[in-house]
Structure 1
Amino acid sequence: MTSDNPASRSSLSKTPPPSSAPTTVGPTTGERALLWAGFPVLGAVALWLVSRAAAWVASLPWAPMQGVFKLVASAPEPLLSIGALVVGVLAGLAIAFFAEREYVTADIGPDQAVLTVDGVTRTVPRAATAAVFQDGKNLVLLGHDSAELARLHGDFDAKRFAAAFEQHGYPWHPDGDPYAADFRRWVAAQPGLPAGAHALFKARAHALNKGEKQDAEQLRTELAELGVIVREDKHKAQHWRPTRPTTDD
């Protein structure tokens, strides 16, 4: 017998089936317009102000780069003002280009999520995804064995990404990493790590201290291949946890 209880019908309506049409998530048109218009304008204004102050700075005996400021101040008008504006606009466009690459964009559908940041694209199947969450400036997708399927570092609107993932049935975790309690800080000669892991941790610590991001990410991948998930805090200290292999019934 079918229930006519309005509360029952209301509760069912709150959990619609996953949508079949992919959802594109990324910076809004307004955000991109502000980025591409704002930085060139700011660059032009900043360089124009520098050109106005060049002669004064060059007159200060303690000021650094006096030779550069003297050269700028010696340029005739209107060449000086025009040059400052053009260089400022070009510098602003360059900054906008690199800033846009830091945006995380995604096409999220019922079968897979295609995620891009800094020119690198990752495709993660829906069936392989057990958890999705925000970890600081990182968007993280975990598999059923708790291994990281993807970790994307960049700028993204967590609310919009959460809505898109949930729309297509992905398990979004608003409270963050469901395995956060498993992490422990790495120290040399710590027991419980697989063979070769300590050497990778030492190399990665060196890469982090030197600001070598690509090397640090490559070493993260190599640790993941050993079944070790690693992340670092704001002080560059590394924390790790083992994956949880799935068992076949």
Structure 2
Amino acid sequence: MGERELGLSLGDRVLVLVGFPVGGGLAGWVLPVVARWLLTLPWVPFGGPLRLVRELDSGWGLAWIVGAGVLLGAAAGVVAVQEALRVTVGADSLTVVRGDKRVSIARRDVEAVFVDGKLLVVLDRQSRQLVRDRLDNAGSARVSRTFLELGYPWVAADPYAELFRRWVPDLPDLPAAVNALLTARAKALEAKSGGDAEELRDEVQKLGYTVRDAGSVQHWRPLVKS
């Protein structure tokens, strides 16, 4: 049985790569109208830039601003496609790619695969989260069917969900090093720095614990020894 790819479908990619430029062009087209309306208000910030935009409502000015919207939309679409999670599932291994980051996981190392909201989660035999990342259409039947057909241990929910506890600073049940990492991770979550939060989660796992988030609130549990 051959490999299967999960993530943005070809249709989704075309929709993003076409829809973003179209949306950007439309935004550029209506921007002078919006600027004109805002300038009728008694007070509005950025009056100077708005007056400049108002003048670009016809001829080459409008063409320029619509073209700029199309180019910005196209750039945003390319970035969105490149940064979308791609998962290639084979009988012996699975590969997870986001941007420049690539992770390969042997099938024999996987204990459980499941979806948590919009996140795909892959656990190893010590219950470490090898993957915990947003996957487009994560809840679709195709995702679960793909893993099941290729022999992966798909489960309906996190088998260790009841072990998680909410983290608070300087929790006495945790080693000082883990508390320090979770403190730094809380700051990364507040700053919406997903890359730093992921790296710090990996560091926490090296010390024998793992973490999941509910918004900006962290929950922790010990790893399960095999």
Q: What TM-score does the superposition give when structure 1 sets the normalisation length?
A: 0.83
Residue 225 of structure 2 is matched in structure 1 by 245
What secondary structure sits across from 2:172 in the alignment? coil
Match 1:161 to one of 117, 122, 143? 143
Q: Please report how far the alpha carbon of residue 103 of structure 1 lies from its aligned counterpart in structure 2 after TM superposition.
A: 2.5
Q: Please report how far the alpha carbon of residue 59 of structure 1 lies from its aligned counterpart in structure 2 after TM superposition.
A: 4.1
Residue 36 of structure 2 is matched in structure 1 by 55
CA distance in 2, matches of 1:75, 1:106: 45
Identity of aligned residues (%): 37
With 44-53 and 93-102 compared, the bigger mean Cα shift is at: 93-102
With 220-229 and 93-102 compared, the bigger mean Cα shift is at: 93-102
CA distance in 2, matches of 1:230, 1:81: 50
Q: What TM-score does the superposition give when structure 2 sets the normalisation length?
A: 0.91
Q: What amino acid maps onto 1:183 in structure 2?
A: F
CA distance in 1, matches of 2:97, 2:87: 6
Residue 162 of structure 2 is matched in structure 1 by 181
Match 1:68 to one of 46, 49, 59? 49
Q: What do the CA deviations read for 1:41-93 (whole angstroms, capped 9, x no partner)?
A: 11111110112343343343412221111112334841122012101111211
With 89-98 and 128-137 compared, the bigger mean Cα shift is at: 89-98
Note closer, same or farther for the CA distance 1:94–1:69 as it changes in structure 2 (3 Å cut). same
Match 1:109 to one of 90, 99, 102? 90
Residue 171 of structure 1 is matched in structure 2 by 153
Residue 33 of structure 1 is matched in structure 2 by 14
Aligned pairs, number: 225
Q: What do the CA deviations read for 1:118-158 (whole angstroms, capped 9, x no partner)?
A: 33211010000010011122211101111112222343443
Match 2:80 to one of 75, 88, 99? 99
Q: Which runs of 4+ in 1 moved over 6 A?
A: none
Note closer, same or farther for the CA distance 1:39–1:76 as it changes in structure 2 (3 Å cut). closer
Q: What amino acid maps onto 2:220 in structure 1?
A: W
User: CA contact under 8 A between 2:115 and 2:138: conserved in structure 1?
Assistant: no
Residue 205 of structure 1 is matched in structure 2 by 186
Note closer, same or farther for the CA distance 1:76–1:220 as it changes in structure 2 (3 Å cut). closer
What secondary structure sits across from 2:189 in the alignment? helix
Which of structures 1 and 2 has the bigger CA Rg?
1
Residue 144 of structure 1 is matched in structure 2 by 125
CA distance in 1, matches of 2:59, 2:167: 60
User: CA contact under 8 A between 2:31 and 2:53: conserved in structure 1?
Assistant: no
CA distance in 1, matches of 2:207, 2:175: 7
User: CA contact under 8 A between 2:56 and 2:62: conserved in structure 1?
Assistant: no
CA distance in 1, matches of 2:78, 2:100: 12
- Residue segments in structure 2 that go unaligned for 5+ positions in a row: none
Note closer, same or farther for the CA distance 1:54–1:168 as it changes in structure 2 (3 Å cut). same
Residue 16 of structure 1 is matched in structure 2 by none
Note closer, same or farther for the CA distance 1:200–1:79 as it changes in structure 2 (3 Å cut). same
CA distance in 1, matches of 2:45, 2:78: 30
Q: Please report how far the alpha carbon of residue 195 of structure 1 lies from its aligned counterpart in structure 2 after TM superposition.
A: 4.3
Q: What amino acid maps onto 2:212 in structure 1?
A: R
- Residue segments in structure 1 that go unaligned for 5+ positions in a row: 1-18
User: CA contact under 8 A between 1:102 and 1:154: conserved in structure 2?
Assistant: no
User: CA contact under 8 A between 1:104 and 1:156: conserved in structure 2?
Assistant: no
User: CA contact under 8 A between 2:120 and 2:138: conserved in structure 1?
Assistant: no
